[in-house]
Amino acid sequence: TNQNRALLTNPDGSYTDRAKIIIAHTPCGRFAEPEELFGTIHYLISDASSFVTGALSVVDGGFDAFSI
């Protein structure tokens, strides 16, 4: 999204060095699209998660697990 666009892309649309490092450490090999968060959000606001408390749902293409 626009929040991090200047950190991750150059004015010509190519990736910055920072973005290339992040993608190199992300098993999915790309950044997520905002719509890819919808499944987790839908689950958390639905009755399916009514007994879930204090859970951490990581939606990062495997970055967290791969970079540990």
In this prediction, the residues of the chain whose per-residue pLDDT falls under 50 are: none
Query: Mind listing the pLDDT tens digit for each residue in 25-34?
Result: 999 999 999 8
Q: Where are the domains of the chain?
A: 2-66
Q: Which pTM does this prediction carry?
A: 0.71
The DSSP call for residue 27 is: T
Structural contact between residues 26 and 60, judged by C-beta atoms closer than 8 angstroms = yes
Cα 25 from Cα 56, distance rounded (Å): 20
Q: For residue 48, what pLDDT is reported?
A: 95
